[in-house]
Protein backbone atom coordinates (compact mmCIF):
# COMPACT_ATOMS: atom_id res chain seq x y z
CA UNK A 1 0.00 0.00 0.00
CA UNK A 2 1.25 3.46 -0.86
CA UNK A 3 1.94 6.04 1.81
CA UNK A 4 0.47 9.53 1.74
CA UNK A 5 3.99 10.94 1.34
CA UNK A 6 4.39 9.14 -2.01
CA UNK A 7 3.14 10.79 -5.21
CA UNK A 8 0.40 8.16 -5.60
CA UNK A 9 -0.79 8.62 -2.02
CA UNK A 10 -0.70 12.41 -2.42
CA UNK A 11 -2.81 12.19 -5.57
CA UNK A 12 -5.40 10.04 -3.80
CA UNK A 13 -5.57 12.48 -0.90
CA UNK A 14 -5.93 15.39 -3.30
CA UNK A 15 -8.74 13.64 -5.18
CA UNK A 16 -10.48 12.89 -1.89
CA UNK A 17 -10.26 16.53 -0.79
CA UNK A 18 -11.58 17.69 -4.17
CA UNK A 19 -14.50 15.29 -3.92
CA UNK A 20 -15.31 16.51 -0.40
CA UNK A 21 -15.17 20.16 -1.46
CA UNK A 22 -17.30 19.48 -4.53
CA UNK A 23 -19.86 17.65 -2.39
CA UNK A 24 -20.02 20.46 0.15
CA UNK A 25 -20.30 23.04 -2.64
CA UNK A 26 -23.12 21.10 -4.29
CA UNK A 27 -24.91 20.81 -0.95
CA UNK A 28 -24.57 24.55 -0.30
CA UNK A 29 -25.83 25.50 -3.76
CA UNK A 30 -28.77 23.09 -3.50
CA UNK A 31 -29.84 24.41 -0.10
CA UNK A 32 -29.45 27.99 -1.32
CA UNK A 33 -31.65 27.19 -4.31
CA UNK A 34 -34.21 25.59 -2.00
CA UNK A 35 -34.27 28.70 0.17
CA UNK A 36 -34.65 30.88 -2.94
CA UNK A 37 -37.64 28.84 -4.13
CA UNK A 38 -39.39 28.95 -0.77
CA UNK A 39 -38.66 32.67 -0.48
CA UNK A 40 -40.25 33.33 -3.90
CA UNK A 41 -43.26 31.18 -3.01
CA UNK A 42 -43.71 33.13 0.19
CA UNK A 43 -43.78 36.39 -1.75
CA UNK A 44 -46.03 35.39 -4.68
CA UNK A 45 -48.82 33.55 -2.83
CA UNK A 46 -51.96 35.74 -2.51
CA UNK A 47 -51.78 35.79 1.30
CA UNK A 48 -50.87 38.94 3.20
CA UNK A 49 -48.71 37.86 6.17
CA UNK A 50 -49.41 41.15 7.95
CA UNK A 51 -53.17 40.64 7.69
CA UNK A 52 -52.80 37.08 8.95
CA UNK A 53 -50.99 38.34 12.05
CA UNK A 54 -52.94 41.43 13.06
CA UNK A 55 -56.37 40.53 11.68
CA UNK A 56 -58.81 42.49 9.57
CA UNK A 57 -59.72 45.01 12.30
CA UNK A 58 -56.20 46.35 12.77
CA UNK A 59 -55.52 50.00 12.13
CA UNK A 60 -53.21 51.12 9.30
CA UNK A 61 -50.63 52.16 11.88
CA UNK A 62 -50.63 48.70 13.44
CA UNK A 63 -50.31 47.04 10.05
CA UNK A 64 -47.42 49.29 9.10
CA UNK A 65 -45.66 48.56 12.38
CA UNK A 66 -45.87 44.83 11.73
CA UNK A 67 -44.76 45.31 8.14
CA UNK A 68 -41.70 47.23 9.35
CA UNK A 69 -40.95 44.55 11.95
CA UNK A 70 -41.07 41.85 9.27
CA UNK A 71 -38.92 43.89 6.91
CA UNK A 72 -41.46 43.72 4.09
CA UNK A 73 -40.68 47.25 2.93
CA UNK A 74 -37.01 46.47 2.37
CA UNK A 75 -35.62 45.75 -1.12
CA UNK A 76 -36.21 42.17 -2.24
CA UNK A 77 -32.53 41.23 -2.23
CA UNK A 78 -32.19 42.43 1.35
CA UNK A 79 -35.28 40.46 2.39
CA UNK A 80 -33.76 37.34 0.85
CA UNK A 81 -30.45 37.97 2.62
CA UNK A 82 -32.23 38.25 5.98
CA UNK A 83 -34.28 35.14 5.19
CA UNK A 84 -31.17 33.08 4.39
CA UNK A 85 -29.26 34.42 7.40
CA UNK A 86 -32.08 33.59 9.79
CA UNK A 87 -32.63 30.14 8.24
CA UNK A 88 -28.95 29.24 8.59
CA UNK A 89 -29.20 30.24 12.26
CA UNK A 90 -32.22 27.95 12.73
CA UNK A 91 -34.77 30.77 12.73
CA UNK A 92 -37.61 29.80 10.37
CA UNK A 93 -39.98 32.47 11.59
CA UNK A 94 -42.92 32.28 13.99
CA UNK A 95 -46.03 30.27 13.32
CA UNK A 96 -49.18 32.36 13.03
CA UNK A 97 -51.36 29.44 14.08
CA UNK A 98 -49.47 28.26 17.19
CA UNK A 99 -47.62 31.45 18.10
CA UNK A 100 -44.44 29.40 18.57
CA UNK A 101 -41.19 29.53 16.59
CA UNK A 102 -41.52 27.28 13.57
CA UNK A 103 -38.24 25.54 14.42
CA UNK A 104 -39.65 24.50 17.81
CA UNK A 105 -42.87 23.24 16.23
CA UNK A 106 -40.93 21.20 13.67
CA UNK A 107 -38.67 19.77 16.38
CA UNK A 108 -41.84 18.56 18.13
CA UNK A 109 -43.59 17.11 15.05
CA UNK A 110 -40.73 15.83 12.87
CA UNK A 111 -39.69 12.88 15.12
CA UNK A 112 -43.14 11.32 14.62
CA UNK A 113 -42.71 11.43 10.84
CA UNK A 114 -39.12 10.19 11.12
CA UNK A 115 -40.22 7.25 13.26
CA UNK A 116 -43.03 6.32 10.89
CA UNK A 117 -40.95 6.63 7.71
CA UNK A 118 -38.00 4.76 9.21
CA UNK A 119 -40.08 1.75 10.20
CA UNK A 120 -41.80 1.80 6.80
CA UNK A 121 -38.45 1.84 5.00
CA UNK A 122 -37.04 -0.97 7.15
CA UNK A 123 -40.10 -3.11 6.40
CA UNK A 124 -40.00 -2.28 2.70
CA UNK A 125 -36.29 -3.10 2.48
CA UNK A 126 -36.38 -6.34 4.46
CA UNK A 127 -39.32 -7.66 2.45
CA UNK A 128 -38.72 -5.97 -0.91
CA UNK A 129 -35.16 -7.15 -1.53
CA UNK A 130 -35.80 -10.89 -0.94
CA UNK A 131 -39.05 -10.64 -2.92
CA UNK A 132 -37.27 -9.00 -5.83
CA UNK A 133 -34.48 -11.59 -5.77
CA UNK A 134 -37.01 -14.42 -5.65
CA UNK A 135 -38.84 -13.01 -8.66
CA UNK A 136 -35.61 -12.44 -10.61
CA UNK A 137 -34.28 -15.96 -10.04
CA UNK A 138 -37.58 -17.54 -11.15
CA UNK A 139 -38.76 -15.42 -14.10
CA UNK A 140 -42.22 -16.33 -15.31
CA UNK A 141 -42.98 -18.53 -12.30
CA UNK A 142 -45.91 -18.19 -9.91
CA UNK A 143 -43.68 -16.46 -7.35
CA UNK A 144 -42.52 -13.97 -9.98
CA UNK A 145 -46.09 -13.23 -11.03
CA UNK A 146 -47.16 -12.87 -7.40
CA UNK A 147 -44.36 -10.43 -6.56
CA UNK A 148 -45.15 -8.35 -9.64
CA UNK A 149 -48.88 -8.38 -8.83
CA UNK A 150 -48.30 -7.28 -5.24
CA UNK A 151 -45.99 -4.52 -6.46
CA UNK A 152 -48.50 -3.38 -9.06
CA UNK A 153 -51.22 -3.17 -6.40
CA UNK A 154 -48.90 -1.07 -4.24
CA UNK A 155 -48.45 1.37 -7.12
CA UNK A 156 -52.09 1.43 -8.22
CA UNK A 157 -54.15 1.63 -5.02
CA UNK A 158 -54.62 5.10 -3.47
CA UNK A 159 -52.93 5.53 -0.12
CA UNK A 160 -56.01 6.96 1.59
CA UNK A 161 -58.11 3.99 0.43
CA UNK A 162 -55.59 1.48 1.76
CA UNK A 163 -55.46 3.33 5.07
CA UNK A 164 -59.23 3.40 5.49
CA UNK A 165 -59.57 -0.28 4.56
CA UNK A 166 -56.76 -1.17 6.97
CA UNK A 167 -58.45 0.69 9.81
CA UNK A 168 -61.80 -0.91 9.01
CA UNK A 169 -60.43 -4.47 8.93
CA UNK A 170 -57.58 -4.63 11.44
CA UNK A 171 -58.89 -2.06 13.94
CA UNK A 172 -62.64 -1.96 13.48
CA UNK A 173 -63.40 -5.62 12.74
CA UNK A 174 -60.52 -7.77 13.98
CA UNK A 175 -59.26 -5.45 16.77
CA UNK A 176 -55.68 -6.58 16.12
CA UNK A 177 -54.15 -3.10 16.33
CA UNK A 178 -54.85 0.16 18.13
CA UNK A 179 -56.67 3.04 16.47
CA UNK A 180 -55.46 6.39 15.15
CA UNK A 181 -52.87 8.45 17.01
CA UNK A 182 -49.47 7.57 18.46
CA UNK A 183 -50.72 6.47 21.89
CA UNK A 184 -53.87 5.96 23.89
CA UNK A 185 -54.78 9.13 25.86
CA UNK A 186 -53.72 7.63 29.20
CA UNK A 187 -50.30 6.65 27.88
CA UNK A 188 -49.98 10.00 26.13
CA UNK A 189 -50.14 11.73 29.51
CA UNK A 190 -47.54 9.33 30.92
CA UNK A 191 -45.23 10.04 27.98
CA UNK A 192 -45.44 13.78 28.53
CA UNK A 193 -45.00 13.91 32.30
CA UNK A 194 -43.25 10.71 33.41
CA UNK A 195 -40.78 9.81 30.65
CA UNK A 196 -37.54 11.51 29.67
CA UNK A 197 -37.83 12.25 25.96
CA UNK A 198 -34.44 11.80 24.34
CA UNK A 199 -35.38 11.68 20.66
CA UNK A 200 -39.10 12.48 20.43
CA UNK A 201 -39.71 9.02 18.92
CA UNK A 202 -42.07 7.15 21.22
CA UNK A 203 -40.79 3.64 20.54
CA UNK A 204 -37.15 4.54 21.12
CA UNK A 205 -37.80 6.79 24.13
CA UNK A 206 -40.00 4.19 25.83
CA UNK A 207 -37.25 1.59 25.34
CA UNK A 208 -34.60 3.91 26.75
CA UNK A 209 -36.83 4.58 29.77
CA UNK A 210 -37.73 0.93 30.24
CA UNK A 211 -41.45 1.73 29.90
CA UNK A 212 -42.57 -1.52 28.28
CA UNK A 213 -46.30 -0.81 28.61
CA UNK A 214 -45.91 2.43 26.65
CA UNK A 215 -43.72 0.64 24.10
CA UNK A 216 -46.35 -2.04 23.51
CA UNK A 217 -49.10 0.54 23.16
CA UNK A 218 -47.02 2.67 20.76
CA UNK A 219 -46.13 -0.42 18.71
CA UNK A 220 -49.81 -1.32 18.43
CA UNK A 221 -50.56 2.18 17.12
CA UNK A 222 -47.69 2.45 14.65
CA UNK A 223 -47.74 -1.02 13.12
CA UNK A 224 -50.65 -0.30 10.74
CA UNK A 225 -49.53 3.08 9.29
CA UNK A 226 -45.90 1.93 9.16
CA UNK A 227 -47.01 -1.28 7.45
CA UNK A 228 -48.95 0.76 4.90
CA UNK A 229 -45.94 2.93 4.09
CA UNK A 230 -43.74 -0.15 4.14
CA UNK A 231 -46.00 -1.82 1.59
CA UNK A 232 -45.65 1.16 -0.74
CA UNK A 233 -41.88 1.15 -0.23
CA UNK A 234 -41.72 -2.62 -0.72
CA UNK A 235 -43.57 -2.38 -4.04
CA UNK A 236 -40.94 0.04 -5.38
CA UNK A 237 -37.89 -1.71 -3.91
CA UNK A 238 -38.97 -5.21 -5.01
CA UNK A 239 -39.58 -4.03 -8.55
CA UNK A 240 -36.18 -2.33 -8.82
CA UNK A 241 -34.41 -5.26 -7.13
CA UNK A 242 -35.95 -7.66 -9.64
CA UNK A 243 -34.82 -5.49 -12.55
CA UNK A 244 -31.27 -5.04 -11.24
CA UNK A 245 -30.88 -8.72 -10.34
CA UNK A 246 -32.13 -9.99 -13.71
CA UNK A 247 -29.62 -7.73 -15.40
CA UNK A 248 -26.75 -9.03 -13.26
CA UNK A 249 -27.72 -12.69 -13.65
CA UNK A 250 -27.24 -12.32 -17.40
CA UNK A 251 -23.64 -11.13 -17.05
CA UNK A 252 -20.66 -13.26 -18.02
CA UNK A 253 -19.10 -13.35 -14.55
CA UNK A 254 -22.26 -15.05 -13.23
CA UNK A 255 -22.04 -17.69 -15.97
CA UNK A 256 -18.37 -18.23 -15.11
CA UNK A 257 -19.17 -18.69 -11.42
CA UNK A 258 -21.84 -21.26 -12.22
CA UNK A 259 -19.53 -23.16 -14.60
CA UNK A 260 -16.94 -23.39 -11.82
CA UNK A 261 -19.54 -25.19 -9.68
CA UNK A 262 -20.17 -22.39 -7.18
CA UNK A 263 -23.36 -22.90 -5.11
CA UNK A 264 -26.34 -21.01 -6.51
CA UNK A 265 -27.02 -19.17 -3.23
CA UNK A 266 -23.46 -17.82 -3.26
CA UNK A 267 -23.74 -16.78 -6.90
CA UNK A 268 -26.90 -14.81 -6.15
CA UNK A 269 -26.38 -13.41 -2.64
CA UNK A 270 -22.62 -12.78 -2.79
CA UNK A 271 -21.54 -12.09 -6.35
CA UNK A 272 -24.70 -10.73 -7.98
CA UNK A 273 -26.01 -8.94 -4.87
CA UNK A 274 -22.70 -7.13 -4.45
CA UNK A 275 -23.29 -5.33 -7.74
CA UNK A 276 -27.06 -5.02 -7.25
CA UNK A 277 -26.58 -3.17 -3.96
CA UNK A 278 -24.75 -0.34 -5.71
CA UNK A 279 -27.80 1.11 -7.52
CA UNK A 280 -30.16 -0.29 -4.88
CA UNK A 281 -28.69 2.04 -2.25
CA UNK A 282 -29.98 5.03 -4.23
CA UNK A 283 -33.38 3.35 -4.63
CA UNK A 284 -33.72 2.79 -0.87
CA UNK A 285 -32.59 6.35 -0.09
CA UNK A 286 -35.11 7.82 -2.53
CA UNK A 287 -37.85 5.60 -1.10
CA UNK A 288 -36.99 6.80 2.40
CA UNK A 289 -37.03 10.42 1.29
CA UNK A 290 -40.39 9.89 -0.41
CA UNK A 291 -41.87 8.49 2.81
CA UNK A 292 -40.52 11.46 4.77
CA UNK A 293 -42.12 14.03 2.49
CA UNK A 294 -45.02 12.09 1.03
CA UNK A 295 -46.77 10.65 4.09
CA UNK A 296 -49.27 13.51 4.42
CA UNK A 297 -52.33 11.41 3.58
CA UNK A 298 -51.20 8.58 5.84
CA UNK A 299 -50.68 10.95 8.75
CA UNK A 300 -54.05 12.56 8.13
CA UNK A 301 -55.94 9.24 8.02
CA UNK A 302 -54.27 7.87 11.15
CA UNK A 303 -54.28 11.20 13.05
CA UNK A 304 -50.51 10.92 13.24
CA UNK A 305 -49.00 14.14 14.68
CA UNK A 306 -46.15 14.35 12.21
CA UNK A 307 -44.64 16.98 9.96
CA UNK A 308 -47.05 16.23 7.12
CA UNK A 309 -50.07 16.93 9.31
CA UNK A 310 -48.39 20.05 10.66
CA UNK A 311 -47.78 21.45 7.17
CA UNK A 312 -51.30 20.54 6.04
CA UNK A 313 -52.94 22.24 9.03
CA UNK A 314 -50.72 25.29 8.52
CA UNK A 315 -51.69 25.46 4.86
CA UNK A 316 -55.40 25.43 5.66
CA UNK A 317 -54.81 28.19 8.24
CA UNK A 318 -52.80 30.30 5.73
CA UNK A 319 -49.80 29.99 8.08
CA UNK A 320 -47.10 30.52 5.46
CA UNK A 321 -44.10 30.68 7.85
CA UNK A 322 -44.97 27.19 9.07
CA UNK A 323 -45.59 25.88 5.54
CA UNK A 324 -42.32 27.28 4.19
CA UNK A 325 -40.35 26.19 7.25
CA UNK A 326 -41.64 22.65 6.94
CA UNK A 327 -40.87 22.67 3.23
CA UNK A 328 -37.29 23.75 3.90
CA UNK A 329 -36.80 20.97 6.45
CA UNK A 330 -38.20 18.33 4.09
CA UNK A 331 -35.99 19.61 1.27
CA UNK A 332 -32.87 19.56 3.44
CA UNK A 333 -33.71 16.00 4.53
CA UNK A 334 -34.11 14.98 0.88
CA UNK A 335 -30.76 16.52 -0.09
CA UNK A 336 -29.02 14.97 2.91
CA UNK A 337 -30.32 11.51 2.07
CA UNK A 338 -29.12 11.91 -1.50
CA UNK A 339 -25.65 12.84 -0.29
CA UNK A 340 -25.64 9.93 2.19
CA UNK A 341 -26.58 7.52 -0.61
CA UNK A 342 -23.77 8.93 -2.74
CA UNK A 343 -21.28 8.36 0.08
CA UNK A 344 -22.51 4.79 0.60
CA UNK A 345 -22.35 4.26 -3.16
CA UNK A 346 -18.66 5.14 -3.11
CA UNK A 347 -18.00 2.90 -0.11
CA UNK A 348 -19.70 -0.11 -1.69
CA UNK A 349 -18.40 0.33 -5.25
CA UNK A 350 -14.58 0.50 -5.57
CA UNK A 351 -14.97 1.82 -9.11
CA UNK A 352 -16.66 4.95 -7.75
CA UNK A 353 -13.83 5.50 -5.26
CA UNK A 354 -11.32 5.30 -8.11
Task: Kindly state the average pLDDT of the residues 197-202.
Answer: 86
CA distance linking residue 194 with residue 204, whole number of Å: 15
Average pLDDT of the segment spanning 348-353:
61
Identify the top-confidence range among 26-40, 196-210, 216-230, 317-331.
216-230
- Of 235, 233, 234, 242, nearest in space to 279 by CA: 242
pLDDT value for 160: 82
- pLDDT at 1 (0 to 100): 45
Q: Average the pLDDT over 214-238 and give the result.
A: 92
| 3-state SS assignment for residue 37 | helix
Residue range 127-154, pLDDT digits in tens: 999 999 999 998 889 988 999 998 888 8
Q: Would you say the pTM of this structure is higher than 0.85?
A: no
Q: How far apart (Å, rounded) are the C-alpha atoms in residues 43 and 50?
A: 12
| Average confidence (pLDDT) over 177-194 | 81
SS3 (DSSP) at 94:
strand
The per-residue pLDDT for range 21-58, each reduced to its tens digit, is 777 788 788 888 888 888 888 777 777 677 666 767 77
CATH no., domain 106-353? 1.10.3720.10
Domain residue ranges of the chain, discontinuous segments joined by +: 7-88, 106-353
User: What is the spatial distance between Cα 246 and Cα 129, in angstroms, rounded to a whole number?
Assistant: 13
Amino acid sequence: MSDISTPQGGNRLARLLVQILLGLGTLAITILGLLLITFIIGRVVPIDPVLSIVGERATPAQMQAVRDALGLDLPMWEQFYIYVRDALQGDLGRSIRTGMPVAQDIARFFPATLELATLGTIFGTLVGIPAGVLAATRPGSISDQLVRLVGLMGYSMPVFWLGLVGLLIFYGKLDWVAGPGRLDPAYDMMLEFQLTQYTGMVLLDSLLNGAWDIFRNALSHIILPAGLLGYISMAYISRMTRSFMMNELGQEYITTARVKGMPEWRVIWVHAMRNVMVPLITVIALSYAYLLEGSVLTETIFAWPGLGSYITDALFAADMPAVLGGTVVVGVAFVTLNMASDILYRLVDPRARA
